[in-house]
Amino acid sequence: MEALVHSRPRRSASRLTFLEDDPGPDRLLRAIVANSRRWITRWARAGGGEVHQQNGVTWVYTPKPDAVGEIAFPRLTKAGAGEQLDLIMAYYRRQRPLKPVICWSVDPPQPRDLAERLVARGFYWHGRTHWMWLDLRRMETNHPRPPGLRIELIEDEGADEHAPAAVVAVTRTRPRRVWRFAASLDGKPVGQSWLHLTTGSLGVAGLYAVHVDPAARNQGVGKAVSLAACQFAQALGCRCAILNATDMGEPVYRRLGFAATGAGQTWWWDPEATAGRGDPVRHEGG
């Protein structure tokens, strides 16, 4: 069996602080939102985009062809929500190229009628998020792996001349808070995971973009590449890992020790679907 290839964290764990042990559900949700929002803004800036924050909401725009606009976990007052959403949508309509927009929200949203307000502005419901978390002291590490599996921390994304500029930029930001782990099987790339660390009183390890090629699934690759990220974060002193699980990924994460910790909602705005219709008629009174 091929051993995991680990590079030890260079920064002393004693210099970093993280979310306390055994956090309650409210504090854990705040940590999830903080990590997710920071992930969104990091990538927007790395891709040459813009980040805006105003009145309890963060939104980003990135000109990259494969990027979408993102409204990150709004916490709006009922009185000011309508005006703020109008401002944000006017901003997105001015951008070129015009991009789809996704809005991420906790459940229940704030304000409670956020869904109605978004639908009135041309959004449609896109799906639910499924947040999971892991106490890193209790992660399950004993899982079978195929012979020839290799998990490697990519120390320098810039060493690959084909690496996208945003990937290089986000991993070269200092202090470093984003790392990628690559999985190969018999020398062939088969998967990856991304680790995003936030620090401070809400600091957690966020796992993102975990992927395994279809031909390599059901062999333990997904567990191994996720476990590598979790172990790296634990070595830095982090206590909790979080992620948004797909239906396919949930059983994998449960075997590592992750447990459900709530859900959220997403909405989607497609500029092509609303082109030529003008601003939708609003019925929610704001």
pTM of the model: 0.91
Each residue's pLDDT, cut to its tens digit, for the chain (286 residues) gives 344 554 556 554 458 999 988 899 999 999 999 999 999 999 999 999 999 999 999 999 999 888 999 999 999 999 999 999 999 999 999 999 999 999 999 999 999 999 999 999 999 999 999 999 999 999 999 999 999 999 999 999 999 999 999 999 999 999 999 999 999 999 999 999 999 999 999 999 999 999 999 999 999 999 999 999 999 999 999 999 999 999 999 999 999 999 999 899 999 999 988 654 444 433 333 4
Residue 163: φ, ψ to 5°: -65, 135
Q: What would the two tokens of residue 243 be? A: 């992620």
With contact defined as beta carbons under 8 Å apart, do 264 and 32 qualify?
no
Name the segment(s) of the chain with CATH classification 3.40.630.30.
13-21+133-261
Confidence at residue 168, expressed as pLDDT on a 0 to 100 scale: 96
Instruction: Dump the DSSP string for 131-142.
Output: EEEEEGGG----
In 16-86, DSSP assigns E strands to 50-54, 57-61, 69-72
d(CA 171, CA 158): 9
> DSSP letter string over 103-118?
EEEESS-BSTTHHHHH
* CATH number corresponding to 13-21+133-261: 3.40.630.30
Local structure of 5: helix, strand or coil: strand
- As a CATH number, domain 25-131+265-274 is 3.40.630
